[in-house]
Structure 1
Amino acid sequence: MLQARIENGFGIENVQWAKAPSPQAGPGQVLVRMRAASLNFRDLLLATGKYDPKLPMPRVMGSDGAGEVIGLGEGTKRFRLGDRVAGIFMQGWLAGRYRDSYASSALGGAIDGVFSQEVVLDEEGLVAIPQHLSFEEAAALPCAGVTAWNSLFASGDLRSGETVLVLGSGGVSVFALQLAKAAGARVIATSSQPEKMEMLKAMGADWVLNYKEVADWGKVIAKAGGVDHVVEVGGAGSLEQSLLAVRGGGRVSLIGVLSGAAGPINIGRVLHKHVTVQGIYVGSREMFEAMNAAIVQNHIRPVIDSVYEGAQIQEALRHMESAGHFGKIVLRLD
């Protein structure tokens, strides 16, 4: 079988498909034939050496993928041959609060990932995928979908009638828009591209701001009443505006570092507005399964920007690098 690995140094040009022996499922494990995988910004950072400069090589890339069960190890009970499944991001985080130890089980970083034709995972580290979704759509769920769900519901307690702010049109932001609207929330979105602004409106965004034309978008949103939740994917470069936009008693979920990880924080604004600022590092299997139930109930379909053949992985990574995508970039692994 083939798997996409980082080897011989960092750089998109060093992400290569290589042959590897087909794995065998051991006790309590499941062999999955991966059909599709999706890219995250983390994959780009990993490939270019910005995520973990000390990453052991070779490392099989990818945290998000979906496929079908083709082998069962002794004693497995959760799945049957032919079941359609996806792996959870941190294989050790099944339920409950996050623990530091879970990070050592993160696919495609701490351990080998799912950009592979065949993968063996513990049965506890898998979930069944919604039947109405294709493999390509289901491959978009493990990180972006669960992160949005955790931000708004598992750790955010979003209520119908509240207002959510999403930044940009990447995977997490688009999922957050879909999930928030399904829950009866009002959504404000930002973008810098007119075409994407129209697409966000078409998806149900109640108000879309051009953050390049409106530099103080946080103040503008605050003057209009503010928001209860911010899905903050920008990082240091946008956090100050997010803190301006959020209402007193609101919540800012820190997710991404698209504009940098380090920068000043107005502590006074956090204190005086009684704002909850929380870090979100994807989520547990329990959250994944709860999200899937909501996706089925509301007939939600992930937004796919583009689908590349597996051999085009470098092209897919460069597309992500260009920041021109809307929703998820997917690899077909057939």
Structure 2
Amino acid sequence: MNTLPLSTERWELAAYGFDQLALREVPLPAPQAGQIVIEMEAVSLNYRDAEVADNGMGATLEFPFTPASDLAGRVIAVGQGVNRFAVGDRVLSAFIPGWRDGASLPWAVAPARGGPLPGVLARHVVEPADWYVHAPHSLGAQEASTLPVAGLTAWMALVETGQLHAGQTVVVQGTGGVSLFAVQLAAAHGARVIVVSGSDDKIARAIALGASHGINRNVTPDWEQQVLALTGGRGAEHILEMAGGQNVERSLRAVAQGGRIAVIGLLEDDRFSLSVMALVASRATITGIAVGPRRALEDLVRAVDLLKIRPVIETSYAFDQLPQAFAHLQRGAFGKIVVAAGHA
């Protein structure tokens, strides 16, 4: 029988603001029926985590609050009645624990981890087994930790809801975690990928991951015209909209007839306006992507193992270096920032 530690460390916010972050020792409870105890191996950070820590991002948090949502770890104990996992299994957290399957589920019914639900930045977590899935066999913990939000968002935009297939064109904006997953997934499915970025170096690195073309938006502000030129006037069947604001209108001009614009980010503005006539004429679908259900995460895990997708991690930080990791996240990264279980 495993002997569990009596206490663990976790990061807590006493109030909104990064200056309120503190690492504290707290008791570690034994698992109740239906629960598992997980030893954290890695936590992937998302831009959302920084916004929640800084201002709540529209969620009302209960303090002290533990941030972040994307955990990869190993099961070290199971409660009564747990049959989905055994001690030693490697697992990933699901972002919206109550969303097992289906096209949609109200946020009020199934709130998200890392705000308003407590997050996972702790050396151990004790939570319901239903909140987790098996990790991929082909990835280590740091790479696997990037799947629950960034990987699944790209999967939902392109494969689950977008029904991506070979021969289509995908426009990916930016080179963050979601965007680079989209590059790799689209290329693996036989699609042509065009990356729009403000950096020639990042474009070159995205092409090395499978993109076919790159457009530097600083050199070519009207990037949609270049998309049309590259597609012989047809436009792209899929566009991952990461900026919001006026950029959405450019995406509308670049999308193919009957194509899809998946709105994921709001780096430029959280609002946009469009010509109704232009939208009607394009016959395009504009859809919001807010991660996905547990079943879709399980599908993604199987696909990652089969397609040999390797998540891109710019840097990893030790568990006690969380403030430095958040600072790097806010500066921007090519791919993901990960917090690992070790000490600095």
The answer for the alignment partner of 1:320 in structure 2 is: 329
Q: Is contact 2:39–2:76 with CA below 8 Å preserved after alignment?
A: yes
The answer for the alignment partner of 1:214 in structure 2 is: 220
Match of 1:251 among 244, 260, 277: 260
How many angstroms apart in 2 are the aligned matches of 1:295 and 1:304?
Answer: 16
The answer for the alignment partner of 1:169 in structure 2 is: 175
Q: Is contact 1:70–1:82 with CA below 8 Å preserved after alignment?
A: yes
Figure out how many residues of one structure are paired with residues of the other and give that number. Answer: 332
The answer for the alignment partner of 2:52 in structure 1 is: 46
The answer for the alignment partner of 2:11 in structure 1 is: 4
Match of 2:102 among 96, 111, 123: 96
How many angstroms apart in 1 are the aligned matches of 2:112 and 2:256?
Answer: 34
The alignment's TM-score, normalised by the length of structure 1, stands at: 0.96
The answer for the alignment partner of 1:202 in structure 2 is: 208
Quickly say closer, same or farther: Cα 1:266–1:12, change in 2 above 3 A: farther
Q: Secondary structure at the match of 1:330?
A: strand
How many angstroms apart in 1 are the aligned matches of 2:322 and 2:23?
Answer: 9
How many angstroms apart in 2 are the aligned matches of 1:135 and 1:91?
Answer: 20
Quickly say closer, same or farther: Cα 1:39–1:116, change in 2 above 3 A: same
Q: Secondary structure at the match of 1:10?
A: coil
The answer for the alignment partner of 2:5 in structure 1 is: none
Q: Secondary structure at the match of 2:126?
A: strand
The answer for the alignment partner of 1:147 in structure 2 is: 153
Q: Is contact 1:30–1:120 with CA below 8 Å preserved after alignment?
A: yes
Query: Shift of the alpha carbon at 1:193?
Result: 1.4
> What is the identity, as a one-letter code, of the residue corresponding to 2:81?
G
How many angstroms apart in 2 are the aligned matches of 1:81 and 1:162?
Answer: 43
Match of 2:30 among 24, 34, 37: 24
The answer for the alignment partner of 1:333 in structure 2 is: 341
How many angstroms apart in 2 are the aligned matches of 1:51 and 1:190?
Answer: 27
The answer for the alignment partner of 1:107 in structure 2 is: 113
> What is the identity, as a one-letter code, of the residue corresponding to 1:259?
E
Does structure 1 residue 303 correspond to structure 2 residue 309? no
How many angstroms apart in 2 are the aligned matches of 1:112 and 1:300?
Answer: 30
> What is the identity, as a one-letter code, of the residue corresponding to 1:2?
E
> What is the identity, as a one-letter code, of the residue corresponding to 1:253?
A
How many angstroms apart in 1 are the aligned matches of 2:276 and 2:126?
Answer: 45
Quickly say closer, same or farther: Cα 1:102–1:303, change in 2 above 3 A: farther
How many angstroms apart in 1 are the aligned matches of 2:250 and 2:153?
Answer: 21
Quickly say closer, same or farther: Cα 1:29–1:237, change in 2 above 3 A: farther
Q: Secondary structure at the match of 1:313?
A: helix
Q: Is contact 1:90–1:102 with CA below 8 Å preserved after alignment?
A: no
The answer for the alignment partner of 2:277 in structure 1 is: 268
How many angstroms apart in 2 are the aligned matches of 1:181 and 1:102?
Answer: 36
The answer for the alignment partner of 1:293 in structure 2 is: 302
Q: Secondary structure at the match of 2:156?
A: helix
Aligned sequence identity (%): 36
Q: Could you list the per-position Cα deviations for residues 263-289 of structure 1 after superposition, in whole angstroms to 9, with x for gaps in the alignment?
A: 323332221100001111100111111
Structure 2 unaligned residues grouped into runs of 5+: 1-7
The answer for the alignment partner of 2:4 in structure 1 is: none
Structure 1 unaligned residues grouped into runs of 5+: none
Match of 1:283 among 292, 296, 304: 292
Q: Secondary structure at the match of 2:193?
A: strand
How many angstroms apart in 2 are the aligned matches of 1:314 and 1:266?
Answer: 43
Q: Could you list the per-position Cα deviations for residues 1-47 of structure 1 after superposition, in whole angstroms to 9, with x for gaps in the alignment?
A: 1111222x322222222221113221111111111001101011112
Query: Shift of the alpha carbon at 1:237?
Result: 4.2
Q: Secondary structure at the match of 1:221?
A: helix
How many angstroms apart in 2 are the aligned matches of 1:198 and 1:212?
Answer: 15
Q: Is contact 2:99–2:110 with CA below 8 Å preserved after alignment?
A: no
The alignment's TM-score, normalised by the length of structure 2, stands at: 0.93
Quickly say closer, same or farther: Cα 1:237–1:120, change in 2 above 3 A: farther
Q: Is contact 1:93–1:102 with CA below 8 Å preserved after alignment?
A: no
Does structure 1 residue 178 correspond to structure 2 residue 184? yes
How many angstroms apart in 2 are the aligned matches of 1:4 and 1:154?
Answer: 34
How many angstroms apart in 2 are the aligned matches of 1:75 and 1:56?
Answer: 30
The answer for the alignment partner of 2:3 in structure 1 is: none
Q: Could you list the per-position Cα deviations for residues 168-209 of structure 1 after superposition, in whole angstroms to 9, with x for gaps in the alignment?
A: 100000001111111111000011112111101111211101
Q: Is contact 1:95–1:287 with CA below 8 Å preserved after alignment?
A: yes
> What is the identity, as a one-letter code, of the residue corresponding to 1:14?
Q
